[in-house]
C-alpha cells in the first residue's frame, strides 16, 4: 500500500488538509485544526498548496494537479463530470444526472457528489438545487457560499477579498 502524506494550508478564512501519495492528490478537506503533518512533503503537496493559495487570492481558475481520489467507478465518473463544471458557473443535480445520460441517477449522482474527497479542485461546491438553493456540502454551507461568491466575483471581474 502506498504511503500517504499530508500538509495544511491556512488562509485568512479557511484551514485545508491536503493529502497525497508521492504522485497525486488523494484528498482535500476543510478542517478545524492542524494535526501532525508529514515530515516528507512530496512536490505534489507543495504544488497543491501554491495553487490553492492562488485560487483563494482570485488568481487561479484552473488547477494543474494530478488527482487520484479513491471511490467506486460510478463515483469517479461523477467526479470526472464535476471537474468539467466551468469556473464561476453552477449546475443542478438534475443537469448532472442528464449529463451522465440518465435522469434517474439524480440521487446516486448527488450521493457521489457528497462523497467527493477532493474539495475545491473537484468542484462539487458548484452543484446547487434545482431552484438555485445551496444544498448540502461536506465542507459546510458557509464554505460553499464563500467559494461560489469568490468565483462569481473573480469571473465577473469584481476582484479580491484581500
> How far is the C-alpha of 81 from the C-alpha of 146, rounded, in Å?
22
Grid cell locating 1 = 500500500
Annotation says 126 is catalytic: no
Strands 91-92 and 127-128: parallel
> How far is the C-alpha of 34 from the C-alpha of 138, rounded, in Å?
18
Collapsing DSSP states into helix, strand and coil, what is residue 85? coil
Q: Which of 67, 124, 150, 154 is catalytic?
A: 124
End-to-end CA distance of the chain: 41
Residues serving a catalytic function are 124
Amino acid at each position: 500500500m502506498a504511503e500517504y502524506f499530508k500538509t495544511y494550508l491556512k488562509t485568512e478564512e479557511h484551514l485545508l488538509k491536503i493529502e497525497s501519495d508521492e504522485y497525486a492528490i488523494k484528498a482535500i478537506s476543510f478542517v478545524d485544526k492542524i494535526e501532525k503533518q508529514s515530515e516528507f512533503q512530496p512536490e505534489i503537496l507543495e504544488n497543491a498548496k501554491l495553487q490553492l493559495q492562488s485560487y483563494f487570492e482570485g488568481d487561479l481558475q484552473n488547477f494543474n494537479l494530478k488527482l487520484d481520489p479513491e471511490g467506486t467507478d460510478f463515483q469517479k465518473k461523477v467526479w470526472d463530470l464535476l471537474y468539467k463544471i466551468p469556473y464561476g458557473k453552477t449546475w443542478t443535480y438534475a443537469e448532472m444526472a442528464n449529463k451522465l445520460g440518465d435522469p434517474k441517477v439524480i440521487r446516486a449522482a448527488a450521493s457521489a457528489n457528497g462523497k467527493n474527497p477532493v474539495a475545491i479542485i473537484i468542484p462539487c461546491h458548484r452543484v446547487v438545487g434545482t431552484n438555485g438553493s445551496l444544498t448540502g456540502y461536506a465542507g459546510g454551507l458557509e464554505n460553499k457560499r464563500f467559494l461560489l461568491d469568490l468565483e462569481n466575483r473573480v469571473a465577473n471581474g469584481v476582484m479580491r477579498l484581500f
